[in-house]
Structure 1
Amino acid sequence: MAILRPGAICSGGLVLLDNPVFIFTILIAVSLSIPPIFERIKLPGLVGLLLAGVILGPSGLQFLNHKTETMVLLSGVGKIYLMFVAGLEIDLSQFRKTRNRSMGFGFLTFIVPLITGMLVGRWFGFGWNGALLIGSLFASHTLLAYPIVSRLGVVQNEAITVTIGATIFTDTAALLVLAICVGIAAGNFTAWSLMLLLVALAVYSVAVLWGIDRVGKEFFRRSGDNEGNQFLFVLLALFVASVGAQVIGIEQIVGAFLAGLAVNDVIGESPVKEKVEFVGGVLFIPFFFIDMGLLIDLPAFLKTLSSWGLTLAIVGGLIGSKFVAAWLASVIYRYSRVEMLSMWSLSLPQVAATLAATLVGYQQGILTQDILNSVIVLMVVTSILGPLITSRVASRIPVPQPETDTVDELWRDTAGLEGETDDSAPFTVIVPVQNPQTERSLIQLAALLARHEQGRVVPLVVTRAAVHMDDPGLETSLQRGQKLLRRAVEIGQAYAVPLEPQLRIDDDVPLGITRLSREENSNLIIVGWSEKTGLRARLFGTVIDSILWSAHCPVAITRLLDEPENIQSILVPVRDLTAPTLRIVGFAQALAAASQADVTLLHVCLPGIPSEQMTQFEAELARILPPDSRPVCIDIQTVAESDIASAILCQAASRDLVLMRSIRRRTTGGLAVSDITTQVVKELPCSVILFGEPHS
């Protein structure tokens, strides 16, 4: 009888500990179950993944081993995928808006922590190369708190924009320092070899950034709407850049980050980007964090904490140096104290580049186990402290002034095509009526709005094309479509609005809808709710995802539990005073006027916001509301609540309809960030309409 090691499982003489399928199964199970548990207790999910790695690794149950080929492969892919996503998520448009100041703050928040880290390294006996690498770990940052400033509506504040833009400088510079340190550690280092390395790195960076950008744009143009091939192209670009970096003697994560920056401009905010981030965030990136946990030697980790000098120096040095950099930037650019603290807190978290570079330095023998353990403590502390401070101080930044004089201006120009709209064209609502169960409510909603705006309704059925136009299946689909359109006309006639039914044949249903919408210069598309939220929907998207991406005008995604005419009270959560939010207010006002309903505008702010700032927000919102020519009872309420979703659900309990903005799920460093809209929609007991902007 075989004697097993602790945690090993045998079956027919096969030790599952080294079986790739067994390892993959364990990793999937941990990635699925652990992060939600830690997020529920207000801790980052990645902390749970690290702890799971400790428990399952050599210091615990010994189910997983860092040195197995499967673990090396999956963790390696996760490491470069993490840096790729870090480059992919840098907002280049924000960087371009404040390029000079972003570079200025980027230099400050890079050089001050770099020098501080070098001093810490030298103090604790590291050579110049090791100290330089420790300094580079201080220099980068991960925008873990971006969703917080986005939710508060202060992303357009210059100080916030500058901090976001600075990420591209800090991460790139930190990875360049890593490449130099690894090159030095490889031996045979001379001034000439350093110069050759820098030249090779510069040429390689230009080749990746320029080459992938040019080739990618041409490939995407030629591939049209084939998202599968586009997805594979992005993955190919990632791994080619990573292998290329290794060929010229620099670390793979440098090439992965550069590939992320290059692909960033190619795919924009397309569905392909969401799929790339989804695959990484669900599969490979969690594997990397679990592997980091496997590297933690629990006795050595506890010893590092007990001899707290190094850990305290690293954590304190990072926090202090980032504060000094933010303070210097505020003095130079004359930012307020609140803006300075927001810049500091946004640049605190050390996750993506820091952990990846630490692992590389540890594997190359430049960094010790004590540094690895201290950096993990740094990651935990800053990933909790940074967002916590951001939520408290960024809420005190004044919300930017609205981009328009009144809500009416935005609502009547819902197409948002400056210089292309025709003021004499009627207000046009496109209504795809593919589902008989939702057809009546969609047509009624569209007819109410069109009647109020003196416009027209275009019921639409798109039939998927067949190989032969005389195919019996196509004929059956056309007959079904004609029946749906006749019924739509019958429903709409009661509202005395023009109805112009359209039956189209197209290879792609979503594109058929948006093509007709553009041809008709429509102001709004109204579609029925899709309950698809499973793996297939996340990987390949839904019809609504495709419509949102390709539409030129807003899309109202509806789940109506009663006829639109019976709606008497509408709740609209108002996050900020930007154009997309105000367009929803205009939609609510028009619907309320058409159905004789009341509107409540709910602004949920975090506790601690000064009362004068809340009063200012209410006053500014009241100023841009529709004039008295449209008699609608509109009430403005401001609530201070840390749990925004709960506040919205509490107010929605007595309402007939909730209007919310549809926002794509965003990831930070490849890890999913909770979506308030998703949580609210799941628990709402009433009707709901998600209002999606084009490319949202």
Structure 2
Amino acid sequence: MESIFSLIPDTPLVSFTILILVVLLIPPIFERIRLPGLVGLLVAGVLLGQNGLQVLNPSDETIKLLSDIGKIYLMFVAGLEIDLNDFRKKRNRSLSFGLATFLIPLLLGMTVGRAFGFGWNGSVLIGSLLASHTLLGYPIVDRLGVVRNEAVTITIGATIFTDISALLVLAICVSIHGGDFSAETLILQLVNLALYAAFVLFGFDWLGKEYFRRTGDAEGNQFLFVLSAVFLASVGAELVNVEQIVGAFLAGLAVNDVVGRGPVKEKVEFLGSTLFIPFFFVGMGLLINVPAFVSTLTSGFALTASIVVALLASKFLAAFLIKLRYRYNKAELFTMWSLSMPQVAATLAAALAAYQAINGAGDRLITENVLNSVIVLMLVTSLLGPILTAQFAPKIRPPQPSLVPESLSDWGLGAANPTTAISSDVFTIIVPVYNPLTEKYLMEMGAFLAGHESGNLVPLSIALAHVHMDDPQLQVSIQKAQKMLNQAANTAQVLGVTAYPQLRIDDDVAQGITRTAREVNASLVVMGWSQNQGIRARLFGTVLDQVFWSSHCPVAAMRLLTEPSNMQKILVPVKSITPLTIQTIRFAQLFANANQASVTLLHIFVQEGFSLTQGPDPEQIQQFEQQLSEILSQAGPTVGFDIQTVIDEDPADVILRMAQSFDMVVLRSFRRRTAGGLTVSNVATRVVKELTCSLVMFGEPHS
């Protein structure tokens, strides 16, 4: 075996190739056996490191660079993913829980450190490692539709306080460890931290908004601006003697409002979760000394056990105190505890930074035993946290949204008859026409909906403009667009619906669509489904992606395999009751009422593979079905409907199996999320790829 590996050239390109292969192959294997993918990356690092096959060297400059970039990127994404809107809504309660879940673990961690002979500085650092948390259970509460529950919201909001505080403690401890401690130096360091944090949080926020405003839709430059911000903040942190990861996290918070939920954020997270963040976890595995790790679990077991117990106990105590203060129930208590338990992103990054901090005497801030104990802590909490979240979060009843979303409050109520010109106070549907193969069915769908609501139907064709408006290519583009509009108008006339064709000259198709929709105050945009869903679309986006991001009104992307008049049975999978879910149901009701069709709502209760229970609570299912029935019967058009609940581990398989007996499936659009730095798959990807009947992907503005 050694002779085989000796044939591999020792070049940076080989190391990079091996890392790519590890990230590609290892996480899916571990996820199939119900283990987090990041655990697989750590194990891969151990096997490929100095205590294994010795293929990768942690001291190699290429490995160190990629690992450092991953560490910085991990903390940046942690700041970028925090929902500042949820934090602002429950600011005071989020700060209360943040203070409790920071101070109690900090004090217990300090106690453990002092009990095992560490100095005050090292003990405070150990306490700070327990104070932060990573929301590994977020995808579970999101899938269950309980993110808007107050207890869940304040737990998510508390992440801001705990992560910032823990990183600031780290910065102070590292500074003290590197030099002579005095009250003057501590005050000076705190002042430097305050000035630096204010400059990053407010300066980068203002600069980002100005840059994004001036660059308009230049996503490439905006993407580079975000990358520049994170690395400038990291370099600036070093200039004021603060750890790089502090600057990266603050940069994430600073540009959070700037990038919003737009495509730039999607691309930034995609790059990080696909490449750099997994590199960091592999690099962590390379640093694990297997003999020392085993020794930590044997001779140093008391320290490891104390750290794990202190973390579990302190996080539970903090959640219990907040439960008493705000009168949350038992399910909310354990959900708060399980969400604040996992120690991954900030904890691992801070532990590595502390381990690598060496003073003039050659002493490390924390010992290898503490680093290994933190890795054990990560493994225990990253497994136990999601298990408990899956156990208790389903018992939380989701908050009740309004039955009629404000943006669609006039759907199904009938509007005034259209006048000879486009009126802004009636139900208006924009139908972009650009593909002769799909135009007829899309116009029929638009005509069905507009006719039912006595609204306006606006066929839209975009003629792409170039730098010179007298370019002959523009004339050809205008002629082609006009021909498409004439065909659309003829189709509308045959269907008995008055159409108001619009021809627009624009340098961007997606922006031309959304600008026209805004100008005519459209209620809905009906588009053909784009087949381009590969890696190129993920990186650069499609027209459909951009319209979803920038439209002011709902967008229905359709892949129609037959005439809309033939669609009599409509299937609507429902994950949870949210405003977007209700909008999706309203759309299905509107079409069914216009076409005298029936609607079936399919609720799939996902039985997690690591759930401790045998099945959902029957009362919970009954309550959920009752809520769906109220939504269908109390508002919107009257249609025949059915509600079915299926318990299964594979929602995509259930949808595909059920869809075989339906004419059309209506899905709500949602984006991919990341958890612990690794991409979480979404059900819609497989359904869209394998579905054999007509499809509508319905999305809210900026979805």
Which band: TM-score by shorter chain?
A: over 0.9
The one-letter code of the counterpart of 1:386 is G
Q: 147-156 vs 649-658, which deviates more? A: 649-658
Partner Cα distance (2:427, 2:119) in 1: 71
What residue number does 2:355 align with? 362
Shift of 1:408: 11
What residue number does 2:505 align with? 505
User: Alignment partner for residue 95 of structure 1, among 69, 87, 96?
Assistant: 87
After superposition, the C-alpha distances for 1:331-365 in whole angstroms (9 at most, x for unaligned) are: 11111111111100110111110110011111112
Q: 90-99 vs 494-503, which deviates more? A: 494-503
Shift of 1:413: 9.0
Task: Please state if 1:650 is matched with 2:657.
Answer: yes
CA spacing shift, 1:658–1:133, aligned 2, 3 Å: same
What residue number does 1:337 align with? 330
Number of residue-to-residue matches in the alignment: 681
Partner Cα distance (1:247, 1:570) in 2: 60
What residue number does 1:48 align with? 40
Shift of 1:424: 7.6
The one-letter code of the counterpart of 1:425 is D
Task: Please state if 1:202 is matched with 2:194.
Answer: yes
* SS of structure 1 residue aligned to 2:632: coil
Shift of 1:638: 2.4
Task: Please state if 1:7 is matched with 2:14.
Answer: no
Shift of 1:5: 7.3
Q: 366-375 vs 427-436, which deviates more? A: 366-375
Shift of 1:246: 0.5
After superposition, the C-alpha distances for 1:544-584 in whole angstroms (9 at most, x for unaligned) are: 11101110100001122222211121111122332211111
After superposition, the C-alpha distances for 1:258-294 in whole angstroms (9 at most, x for unaligned) are: 1111111211111111111111111211111110010
What residue number does 1:524 align with? 524
What residue number does 1:398 align with? 397
- Where does structure 1 lack aligned partners over 5 or more consecutive residues? 11-15, 415-421
User: Alignment partner for residue 648 of structure 2, among 620, 641, 646?
Assistant: 641
Partner Cα distance (2:412, 2:188) in 1: 56
Shift of 1:640: 3.0
CA spacing shift, 1:400–1:303, aligned 2, 3 Å: same
The one-letter code of the counterpart of 1:313 is S
User: Alignment partner for residue 327 of structure 1, among 317, 320, 326?
Assistant: 320
* SS of structure 2 residue aligned to 1:355: helix
Partner Cα distance (1:161, 1:423) in 2: 41
The one-letter code of the counterpart of 1:458 is V
After superposition, the C-alpha distances for 1:558-611 in whole angstroms (9 at most, x for unaligned) are: 122222211121111122332211111110011112222211112222454322
What residue number does 1:417 align with? none
What residue number does 1:313 align with? 306
Q: 628-637 vs 439-448, which deviates more? A: 628-637
User: Alignment partner for residue 687 of structure 2, among 680, 684, 695?
Assistant: 680
Query: Is the contact between residue 136 and residue 174 of structure 1 (CA under 8 Å) also seen in structure 2?
Result: yes
User: Alignment partner for residue 280 of structure 1, among 246, 265, 272?
Assistant: 272
What residue number does 1:598 align with? 598
Shift of 1:405: 5.3
Relative to the length of structure 1, the TM-score reads: 0.94
The one-letter code of the counterpart of 1:359 is L
Partner Cα distance (1:50, 1:480) in 2: 56
Shift of 1:626: 4.2
Shift of 1:8: 3.4
User: Alignment partner for residue 670 of structure 2, among 627, 638, 663?
Assistant: 663
Shift of 1:468: 2.6
Q: 123-132 vs 626-635, which deviates more? A: 626-635
Query: Is the contact between residue 586 and residue 636 of structure 2 (CA under 8 Å) also seen in structure 1?
Result: no
Partner Cα distance (1:466, 1:215) in 2: 30
Shift of 1:472: 2.6
After superposition, the C-alpha distances for 1:169-193 in whole angstroms (9 at most, x for unaligned) are: 0000100110011011102111211
Q: 325-334 vs 433-442, which deviates more? A: 433-442
The one-letter code of the counterpart of 2:556 is A
* SS of structure 1 residue aligned to 2:446: helix
CA spacing shift, 1:230–1:629, aligned 2, 3 Å: closer
Query: Is the contact between residue 237 and residue 247 of structure 2 (CA under 8 Å) also seen in structure 1?
Result: yes
Partner Cα distance (2:702, 2:685) in 1: 18
Partner Cα distance (1:159, 1:425) in 2: 40
Task: Please state if 1:175 is matched with 2:174.
Answer: no
Query: Is the contact between residue 412 and residue 636 of structure 2 (CA under 8 Å) also seen in structure 1?
Result: no
The one-letter code of the counterpart of 2:698 is F
* SS of structure 2 residue aligned to 1:600: strand
Partner Cα distance (1:382, 1:344) in 2: 11
Query: Is the contact between residue 589 and residue 636 of structure 2 (CA under 8 Å) also seen in structure 1?
Result: no
What residue number does 1:250 align with? 242
The one-letter code of the counterpart of 1:536 is R
Query: Is the contact between residue 584 and residue 667 of structure 2 (CA under 8 Å) also seen in structure 1?
Result: yes
- Where does structure 2 lack aligned partners over 5 or more consecutive residues? 358-363, 414-421, 608-614
Partner Cα distance (1:410, 1:666) in 2: 29
Query: Is the contact between residue 404 and residue 582 of structure 2 (CA under 8 Å) also seen in structure 1?
Result: no
* SS of structure 1 residue aligned to 2:409: helix
Partner Cα distance (2:251, 2:675) in 1: 17
Shift of 1:152: 1.2
Query: Is the contact between residue 230 and residue 272 of structure 1 (CA under 8 Å) also seen in structure 2?
Result: yes
What residue number does 1:13 align with? none
RMSD: 2.1
What residue number does 2:380 align with? 381
CA spacing shift, 1:316–1:244, aligned 2, 3 Å: same
Query: Is the contact between residue 464 and residue 508 of structure 1 (CA under 8 Å) also seen in structure 2?
Result: yes
* SS of structure 2 residue aligned to 1:625: helix
Task: Please state if 1:73 is matched with 2:65.
Answer: yes
Partner Cα distance (1:424, 1:409) in 2: 15
Task: Please state if 1:159 is matched with 2:158.
Answer: no
Partner Cα distance (2:513, 2:424) in 1: 23
Shift of 1:467: 2.7
Query: Is the contact between residue 121 and residue 131 of structure 1 (CA under 8 Å) also seen in structure 2?
Result: yes
CA spacing shift, 1:627–1:353, aligned 2, 3 Å: closer
CA spacing shift, 1:400–1:535, aligned 2, 3 Å: same
Relative to the length of structure 2, the TM-score reads: 0.93
Query: Is the contact between residue 89 and residue 668 of structure 1 (CA under 8 Å) also seen in structure 2?
Result: no
CA spacing shift, 1:88–1:405, aligned 2, 3 Å: closer
Task: Please state if 1:609 is matched with 2:616.
Answer: yes
Query: Is the contact between residue 35 and residue 48 of structure 1 (CA under 8 Å) also seen in structure 2?
Result: yes
The one-letter code of the counterpart of 1:430 is I
What residue number does 2:453 align with? 453
CA spacing shift, 1:688–1:129, aligned 2, 3 Å: same
Partner Cα distance (1:32, 1:181) in 2: 37
The one-letter code of the counterpart of 1:7 is F
* SS of structure 1 residue aligned to 2:50: coil
Partner Cα distance (1:122, 1:305) in 2: 20
The one-letter code of the counterpart of 2:684 is T
After the TM superposition, which segments of 4 or more aligned residues of structure 1 sit over 6 Å from their partners? 3-6
* SS of structure 2 residue aligned to 1:504: strand
The one-letter code of the counterpart of 1:535 is I
What residue number does 1:28 align with? 20
Partner Cα distance (2:461, 2:172) in 1: 60
Shift of 1:691: 0.5
What residue number does 1:545 align with? 545
What residue number does 2:121 align with? 129
CA spacing shift, 1:582–1:620, aligned 2, 3 Å: same
Partner Cα distance (2:124, 2:209) in 1: 38
What residue number does 2:492 align with? 492
What residue number does 2:567 align with? 567
What residue number does 2:612 align with? none
Partner Cα distance (1:234, 1:527) in 2: 31
Partner Cα distance (1:149, 1:245) in 2: 34
Shift of 1:304: 2.2
After superposition, the C-alpha distances for 1:483-508 in whole angstroms (9 at most, x for unaligned) are: 22222223222321111222211011
Partner Cα distance (1:533, 1:348) in 2: 36
Query: Is the contact between residue 407 and residue 585 of structure 1 (CA under 8 Å) also seen in structure 2?
Result: no
